[in-house]
Amino acid sequence: MNLIPFDDRDGVIWFDGEFVPWRDAKIHVLSHGLHYASCVFEGARLYNGQVFKLTAHSERLVRSAELLDMPMPFSVAELDAACKQTAERMGLTDAYLRPVAWRGPEQMGVSAPATRTHVAIALWDWPSYFDPEVKRRGVRLTHARYRRPAPDAAPWQAKAAGLYMICTLSKHAAEKAGYADALMLDHKGDVAEATGANIFFVRDGVLHTPTPDSFLNGLTRQTVMGIARAKGIEVVERTIALSELPTFSECFLTGSAAEVTPVSEIAEHRFTPADISLGLMDDYARLVRGG
């Protein structure tokens, strides 16, 4: 695989209120965020030069920082403006946007109230999270080894870097086994989500999706539920037992990166991308591009 390292690219990155050359956007090795995961981030998509649900992403970044007791030095309006300026400076029309905030190197230790919250915004070309040809046929998932933590064990409402450690491990294991992603269960052993996307199932024309009570209620998830209901499709949020998988006919993932991605299998369980999953995939694509 021919990868372009993310520290060696052309362009600029918005860094603490100023634009710096891409290769110069660096932090110190003793930054608290690196050692103690005091870091929150967002992932948004740019379509036709516009960031989809920009303010909602900025609001969630600020809320995530608050949940990690990190004072946010920029307002939602300032973050929105910085994201738009970054898009203009980079000159991209279809891309991925990554705002990130972390505790700096001013103090080292588990307790670090004297640290300063730093913020950066980067933008890069990223047309599709999954191979477009594979996506329409449905991606393959396996089971993840790790479960989402219990709601009283971690600040699950935050899009926090530390919560993604088990996601990276699970996705690496899935890819090594020939799968695209992995299904994660919650602390009770019920269906939760994939490693970086929410999950939906179809049974008899009705959409079923796990209640987000220990994982993020994704912005794409909310958007797709709105599209489905506008089309007259019933949407049910509830606890979904792993034993129910054989009873569903369709399955798909949602996320800013994944968009709407049909699933063809989860380990031994098979699904057929059909009218609902493929229709919502196309409807979402039209919506985000202003169609």
Mutual orientation of helices 219-230 and 275-288 as an angle, nearest 10°? 110
For residue 162, the 8-state DSSP code is G
Measured in whole angstroms, how far is the alpha carbon of residue 113 from the centre of its chain? Answer: 28
Contact between 60 and 67 under an 8 Å Cβ cutoff? The reply is no
- Beta-ladder partners of 253: 199, 261
The separation between CA 6 and the C-alpha centre of its own chain, rounded to angstroms, equals 18
In the set 26, 159, 171, 231, the catalytic residue is 159
176 classed as catalytic: no
User: How many helices, marked H, and strands, marked E, lie in the chain?
Assistant: 7, 16
Pseudo-torsion of CA 43, 121, 46, 180, nearest 10°? -40
Q: CA angle, 29 as apex, 24 and 34 as ends, to 5°?
A: 105
Kindly list the catalytic residues: 159
